[in-house]
Amino acid sequence: GRKNFVIFFLLCGVAAAFTQIFFNPDSKVPMVGASGAIAGVLGAYLLLYPRAKVTTVIIFGFFIRLIKIPAVVVLSFWIIYQFLYGISSLAVKTGEGGVAWFAHIGGFICGVILIKLFQLFVEKNI
């Protein structure tokens, strides 16, 4: 229900913030936004609907095509992208604002863990 989703969303957001702080503790740039919590929803989606088709735009030169790709493929590429940019951001200490890459990773992992725990809890009580 709505209440459980709000709790899930907030927990993913908190986990995202703590993950970003852990990997970049000296940052003076404030974290603003809900992208870490949204990443948690993506993590949950990966476990709940891995074979769902995601309509994706492919641009190759002048050709534009829409194709349907399984969610597991799209989200696997997405989390790898977050990780690679997160690692590369550690080498750049410009002090400027940017993307909280590790917040995305932390939120995503939190979403996966919370859904797994929920599935275990529900299965035990059925």
In whole angstroms, what is the distance from residue 123 CA to residue 8 CA?
19
In whole angstroms, what is the distance from residue 102 CA to residue 85 CA?
9
- Residue-wise pLDDT for 72-83, tens only, equals 999 999 999 999
Q: At 125, list the tokens.
A: 């009580």
Model confidence at 123: pLDDT above 80: no
Residue 96 pLDDT grade (very low, low, confident, very high; cuts 50, 70, 90): low
Q: What is the pLDDT of residue 94?
A: 63
Domain count, the chain: 1
Beta bridge partners of 64: 59
Model confidence at 120: pLDDT above 60: yes
Q: What is the pLDDT of residue 30?
A: 80
Q: What are the Cα distances from residue 115, in Å, to 100, 108, 118, 119?
A: 23, 11, 5, 6
Q: What is the pLDDT of residue 63?
A: 93
In contact, 11 and 114? CB cutoff 8 Å:
yes
Q: What is the pLDDT of residue 55?
A: 96
Q: What is the pLDDT of residue 67?
A: 95
- Residue-wise pLDDT for 26-46, tens only, equals 877 788 889 999 999 999 999
Domain that holds residue 97: 2-124
